[in-house]
Amino acid sequence: MKIVCRCEDITEEEIIRAIDEYDCETLDELKHILRLGMGHCQGRTCLIIAARILANKKGKRMEEIIPSFRPPDEPVEVGIVGKE
């Protein structure tokens, strides 16, 4: 068993199965189905590994699989950013 997403505890097998079952073409679909890369690190480690799995499965080039990043860059406390 190979863990790909450590925050959300997702394995390589689960990613491969989701690509097949849902006919995924994008990382966004994998995120929505598995919560891949939606944990504390925001996909810093797992998204690039998942992109490679997706590229291999779908015969795409890595450049075609671009993860979408959403701010903030680093997790920030509600009380800090929301200071008066």
SS3 30: helix
CB closer to other proteins out of 3 and 35: 35
- Hey, what are 62's tokens? 């890595």
Q: How far is it, in rounded angstroms, from Cα 49 to Cα 26?
A: 13
User: What are the residues binding other proteins (CB under 8 A)?
Assistant: 22-23, 25-26, 28-29, 32-33, 35, 38-40, 42, 70-72, 75-79, 81-84
Work out how close the CB of 46 gets to other proteins at its nearest, in angstroms, rounded to a whole number. Answer: 14
CB closer to other proteins out of 12 and 29: 29
Q: State the angle between helix axes of 46-58 and 12-22 in degrees (0 to 180), rounded to the nearest 10.
A: 50
